[in-house]
């Protein structure tokens, strides 16, 4: 049996005169806690959750390209492709946090990140980002193909050189950022075929449109935080929320016909067609709920519905890809 955890008080030992025991206990506890703290910092620096979604999307592109060219899906090629894309995504995220460390320090939800909180040095964060982004691109060029390596590297460059600085200048940053954000499916596709085919463009279009309700709902929900950091998201520039709501509805509505293109291009069957329409209408419904309030983005109810929309977008994309892959045509 495992004994219950007991301390000095349960053993009848007073705190006074027990400093040596406390020091020993702290010494024994520090290595483990420090290790997990470091792991958490690296996960935060490289935005592990975002990278996981990017890898999932790249896998979808790899899957369909493999079926098109007649290659087996579960091969070392898949491992190399997903690993390389994950490395570049992680490095890009790290360099993004390096560039935005001062902005992150001003916002509540990002102030605890390792760089603004001072748990990691600027030099270390930069080195990690450069090694992962450049090394991952080279890895893809060697173990996948040169086109995938170049496209992945250029995606990172556009994200860092265009989208990241534009966030401090214009609400059009969301539109610019949607281009590198829509690339993971294309990168997974080219890792197999070595070229950009029609199917890759379909995946790009779906991801491109999906990002707008997703990121507008985030900007709506954290509008005050973005304003503190000087980030020029649309809800910050236009706090009435009318323009943001219109764009959420427009992109969500346009996503419905675009999401069914895999059926008409021979990638997925009719079951996917029906499921994609249902998912699209459901996502549009959450946008309508938010837009129908006609309240400023600072109101509590509008933030609640923005959160519901955000949750809907998070559920929508994985379900759409799972449905697409499980109903893929031969």
| pLDDT given for residue 281 in this prediction | 97
CB atoms within 10 A of CB 190: 28
pLDDT at 120 over 80: yes
Biggest alpha carbon distance in the chain? 78
What mean pLDDT is predicted for residues 53-77? 88
Higher pLDDT, 315 or 240: 315
327 within 8 A of 269, measured Cβ to Cβ: yes
Helix spans in 111-197 (H)? 122-143, 146-158, 164-166, 173-181, 184-193
pLDDT at 182 over 90: yes
| pLDDT given for residue 13 in this prediction | 35
Mean pLDDT of the chain: 88
Tens of pLDDT along 83-98? 999 999 999 999 999 9
| pLDDT given for residue 75 in this prediction | 86
Closest by CA to 206, choosing from 276, 298, 111, 308, is 276
pLDDT at 31 over 80: no
| pLDDT given for residue 4 in this prediction | 39
Q: Model confidence at 26, in pLDDT bands (50, 70, 90)?
A: very low
At which residue do the structure tokens 């992962």 appear?
132
Residue 153 in tokens: 């590297």
User: How many Å apart are CA 43 and CA 147, to the nearest integer?
Assistant: 28
| pLDDT given for residue 29 in this prediction | 45
pLDDT at 298 over 80: no
Rg (CA), the chain: 23
For 134, counting Cβ atoms within 10 Å of its Cβ (0-12 exposed, 13-18 middle, 19+ buried), the class is middle
Closest by CA to 244, choosing from 287, 209, 281, is 287
Helix spans in the chain (H)? 19-45, 48-69, 76-99, 101-106, 122-143, 146-158, 164-166, 173-181, 184-193, 198-221, 223-229, 234-237, 242-259, 261-264, 270-291, 300-326
User: How many Å apart are CA 284 and CA 278, to the nearest integer?
Assistant: 10
Q: What structural domains does the chain harbor?
A: 35-196 (1.10.357.140), 199-330 (1.20.120)
pTM of the model: 0.86
pLDDT at 286 over 90: yes
| pLDDT given for residue 74 in this prediction | 81
Q: Model confidence at 311, in pLDDT bands (50, 70, 90)?
A: very high
73 within 8 A of 205, measured Cβ to Cβ: no
Higher pLDDT, 29 or 12: 29
| pLDDT given for residue 330 in this prediction | 63
What mean pLDDT is predicted for residues 158-165? 96
Closest by CA to 89, choosing from 38, 124, 41, 140, is 140
| pLDDT given for residue 32 in this prediction | 63
What mean pLDDT is predicted for residues 132-144? 96
User: How many Å apart are CA 54 and CA 68, to the nearest integer?
Assistant: 22
Residue 297 in tokens: 């983005």
189 within 8 A of 202, measured Cβ to Cβ: no
Using a pLDDT cut of 90, give the percent of the chain over it. Answer: 77
pLDDT at 15 over 80: no
pLDDT at 3 over 80: no
Residues constituting the chain: 330
SS3 245: helix
pLDDT at 30 over 70: no
Q: Model confidence at 302, in pLDDT bands (50, 70, 90)?
A: confident
Q: Model confidence at 239, in pLDDT bands (50, 70, 90)?
A: confident
Using a pLDDT cut of 70, give the percent of the chain over it. Answer: 90
SS3 182: coil
């Amino acid at each position: 049996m495992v004994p219950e955890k007991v301390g000095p008080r349960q053993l009848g030992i007073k705190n006074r005169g027990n400093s040596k025991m406390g020091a020993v206990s702290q010494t024994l506890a520090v290595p483990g806690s420090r290790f997990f703290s470091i792991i958490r910092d690296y996960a935060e620096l490289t935005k592990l959750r975002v990278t996981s979604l990017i890898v999932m999307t790249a896998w979808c592109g790899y899957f369909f390209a493999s079926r098109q060219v007649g290659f087996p899906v579960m091969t070392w090629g898949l491992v190399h492709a997903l690993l390389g894309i994950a490395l570049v995504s992680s490095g890009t995220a790290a360099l993004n946090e390096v560039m935005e460390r001062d902005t992150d320090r001003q916002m509540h939800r990002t102030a605890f990140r390792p760089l603004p909180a001072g748990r990691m040095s600027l030099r270390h964060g930069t080195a990690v980002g450069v090694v992962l982004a450049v090394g991952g691109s080279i890895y893809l060029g060697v173990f996948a193909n040169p086109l995938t390596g170049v496209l992945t590297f250029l995606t990172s460059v556009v994200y860092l050189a265009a989208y990241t600085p534009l966030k401090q200048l214009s609400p059009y940053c969301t539109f610019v950022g949607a281009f590198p954000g829509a690339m993971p499916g294309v990168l997974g596709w080219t890792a197999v075929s070595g070229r950009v085919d029609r199917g890759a463009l379909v995946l790009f279009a779906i991801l491109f449109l999906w990002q707008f309700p997703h990121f507008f709902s985030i900007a709506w929900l954290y509008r005050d935080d973005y304003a503190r950091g000087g980030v020029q998201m649309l809800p910050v520039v236009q706090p009435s929320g009318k323009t943001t709501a219109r764009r959420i509805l427009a992109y969500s509505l346009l996503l419905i016909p675009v999401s069914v293109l895999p059926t008409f291009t021979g990638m997925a069957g009719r079951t996917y067609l029906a499921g994609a329409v249902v998912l699209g209408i459901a996502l549009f419904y959450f946008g309508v709920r938010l837009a129908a309030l006609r309240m400023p983005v600072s109101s509590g109810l509008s933030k609640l519905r923005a959160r519901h929309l955000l949750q809907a977008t998070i559920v929508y994309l994985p379900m759409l890809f799972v449905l697409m892959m499980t109903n893929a045509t031969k």
